[in-house]
Amino acid sequence: MESGLYVVATPIGNFGDMSQRAVDVLRQVDLIAAEDTRHSRRLLQHFGIDTPLMAYHDHSDDRALRRIRGCFEAHESVALVSDAGTPLVSDPGYRLVRCVQDEGHKVFPIPGACAAVAALSAAGLPTDRFLFEGFLPAKRGARENRLQALRTESATLIFYEAPHRIVDTLEALVEVFGPTREAALAREVTKLYETIRRSPLSTLAQFVREDNNQQKGEIVLLVTGASARESELDADVASLLIRLAQELPARRAAAVVAEHTGLRKKQLYDYLLSLK
């Protein structure tokens, strides 16, 4: 096989999703660099693959890189796999791919499962434009800042989330995007207890809050992008408006913000109504 780095996607739960090409490549390469060798060994055993394995992540020391480089110098090939899905998508590999390219070697993608794309394909939210956000910051303040920055984004938003944070995150989403914005939960995709559920954010938050089983496993959250009306409003103006509407009637809050920004009172008032 041609010498180079093969970036190989592996299943996100269901081994039936492993492609024949992925199996062939992992059998034929000289070395497999894996995020977690114990984890990947189970997959390789299942497919009867006994290619040598080494651990690799983006903070690996130079020894790991030297070993991989040694393969290329000998015109050999190396595969990169992560624990699940497509390497580099919220997974290690970015540094390695750049380094391999910069040293003049080829990088070949071997496509397959990716939780974000699988979730998007079944969520029932708009797919013409989407923005993959990966994991939100774990700290509350940083997470809220991130969400505020996304409030007027019109593309469908895709987040990865840890089960122990799902309730808090859904509550933060309701707070920032409003209760009626449509969203979807894609949990344990391709596995036995798969959940794909689309509903307004507040309904989704309630569904997850009331069912402990929905707070387990692996989760992708998707949120419809802002409507044209919402995206017209600057994030700072919108948050000021929302804050004022907590103290004043909606019409009065819209009038005050209109006076100070020059925006139309009706646009601001309609925006507040759209959050109800």
CB of 223 to ligand SAM, least distance (A): 14
DSSP character for 228?
H
Among 21, 27, 69, 191, binds ligand SAM (CB under 6 A): 191
**CB nearer ligand SAM, residue 53 or residue 119:** 119
Q: Token match 């103290």: residue?
A: 247
Percentages (nearest 5) of helix, strand, coil residues in the chain: 50, 20, 35
13 lies in the binding site for ligand SAM (CB under 6 A): yes
Among 56, 130, 160, 269, binds ligand SAM (CB under 6 A): 160
Binding mask 42-61 for ligand SAM (x = CB under 6 A): --------------------
Stretch that binds ligand SAM, among 73-81, 113-121, 228-236, 268-276 (CB under 6 A): 113-121
Sequence-ordered list of residues with C-beta below 8 angstroms from that of 40, at least 6 positions apart, any chain: 10, 32, 34, 53, 81, 83
220 lies in the binding site for ligand SAM (CB under 6 A): yes
- Distance, CA of 221 to CA of 116 (rounded, Å): 9
- Contact in structure between 58 and 97 (CB atoms under 8 Å): no
3-state secondary structure (DSSP) of residue 33: strand
How many alpha carbons lie under 13 Å from residue 91 in its C-beta half-sphere? 23
185 lies in the binding site for ligand SAM (CB under 6 A): no
29 lies in the binding site for ligand SAM (CB under 6 A): no
Among 5, 18, 79, 85, binds ligand SAM (CB under 6 A): 85
- Distance, CA of 155 to CA of 136 (rounded, Å): 17
Give helix 250-261 / helix 235-247 axis angle, nearest 10°.
140
Stretch that binds ligand SAM, among 16-24, 70-78, 142-150, 181-189 (CB under 6 A): 181-189
Residue 192's alpha-carbon distances to 13, 195, 207, 217, in angstroms, are: 9, 9, 19, 11
- Contact in structure between 8 and 87 (CB atoms under 8 Å): yes
**CB nearer ligand SAM, residue 3 or residue 90:** 90
CB of 179 to ligand SAM, least distance (A): 23
Among 40, 86, 169, 195, binds ligand SAM (CB under 6 A): 86
Residues that bind ligand SAM (CB under 6 A): 12-13, 82, 84-86, 89-91, 114-116, 160-162, 186-191, 218-220
